[in-house]
Amino acid sequence: MTTILGIRAYDPNWKTDYILLAADSQVSFEHRKGRITCKDYGCRKILRNPKIGLSFAYAGEAIDPIIAKFNENTKTALKKLTQEKINQEDISELIKKIGLQYRNTYILGSNINSNLSLDTIYYPFIFGNNNTFFSKRAKIYKNLFRVFAGTGQYFALESIVPQLTIGEVNGEKKYVIPTYTLLFNAFQGLNNASEKDIYTGGHMDFAVITPNRCTCCWNFARLDFNKSKPFSALLKETENKFKKCMPHLTGETLDEILLGC
């Protein structure tokens, strides 16, 4: 019950590849008749492991440690996934272990060994006997250029995809789009989803992954065009936040800080 997205692109200004993950922050609580009885806007749907350059977003049930109640297997797997130095093969296996309790859709951006990869792991629906349930077997797709998930994914997609420009870089086709522009497109897409999907809302969180840096920003912007600050002011505010709280991240401007250029 959410909207998350991942897009791999090339920034022509800084001449570097990067991955953008973005998500809303709403958790919806329902009773048996399907009505929303309560909403929480403080859920982190993007988590990261700074030791290996991994960020991942999830759609489905909340696995924010503040909200969720984990069994021991999930708790152990999530701790390894977010706090320990692991290899690429371990990531998928740990996600599958978490999936035994939370059969969500996961979007992963990583730069292990400086190799950028945008992947998704999800549990497909199975229909039968007048009932619908999740498969116990996960499907994995690797090295994607874009992926959207959650109840509001199509509203985000219809806003963002028409603005993506394909270009050729060193003989390879890529989305060629500056980081600021893609951030704004993601902001527009999540706002569109927030307006049309009752399960999407709160604020926008995002992560940027490059071959040598993995940076997360939580509570970037309120998902309400009428009440949110101008986008330029949001960028400047976030830039100042990074410079104050994370001075080891070198860079004069926000895109330089995020991309590590």
CB 153 within 8 A of CB 58: no
Q: Does an H or E element contain 158, and which?
A: helix 153-160
Average pLDDT, the chain: 88
d(CA 124, CA 232): 39
The pLDDT of residue 133 is: 54
* C-alpha distances in Å from residue 198, one per residue of 34, 105, 255: 12, 19, 32
CB 217 within 8 A of CB 224: no
Question: What letter does residue 176 receive in the DSSP assignment?
Answer: B
Instruction: For the chain, give every domain's residue range.
Output: 4-259
Q: Does an H or E element contain 147, and which?
A: strand 146-149
Looking at domain 4-259, which of 3.90.1210.10, 3.40.190.290, 1.10.760.10, 3.60.20.10 is its CATH number?
A: 3.60.20.10
The pLDDT of residue 231 is: 93
The pLDDT of residue 233 is: 94
Which pLDDT tens digit goes with each residue over 48-59?
998 999 999 988
The pLDDT of residue 35 is: 58
Task: Give strand pairing partners of 203.
Answer: 222
Three-state SS at 32? coil
The pLDDT of residue 40 is: 63
Which pLDDT tens digit goes with each residue over 57-101?
988 777 766 666 788 888 899 999 999 999 888 998 999 888 888
d(CA 228, CA 27): 20
Which pLDDT tens digit goes with each residue over 151-193?
999 999 999 999 999 999 999 999 999 999 999 999 999 999 9
The pLDDT of residue 38 is: 57
CB 203 within 8 A of CB 219: yes
Mean pLDDT of 89-114: 89
Q: Does an H or E element contain 20, and which?
A: strand 16-23
CB 181 within 8 A of CB 11: no
Query: DSSP string of 87-120?
Result: -HHHHHHHHHHHHTT---EEEEEE-GGG--EEEE
- % pLDDT > 90, the chain: 62
* C-alpha distances in Å from residue 136, one per residue of 27, 88, 98, 104: 24, 22, 12, 11
The pLDDT of residue 29 is: 64
> Which token pair is 92?
């998928």
Which of 210, 197, 203 is CA-nearest to residue 255? 210
Which pLDDT tens digit goes with each residue over 209-236?
999 999 999 999 999 878 788 999 999 9
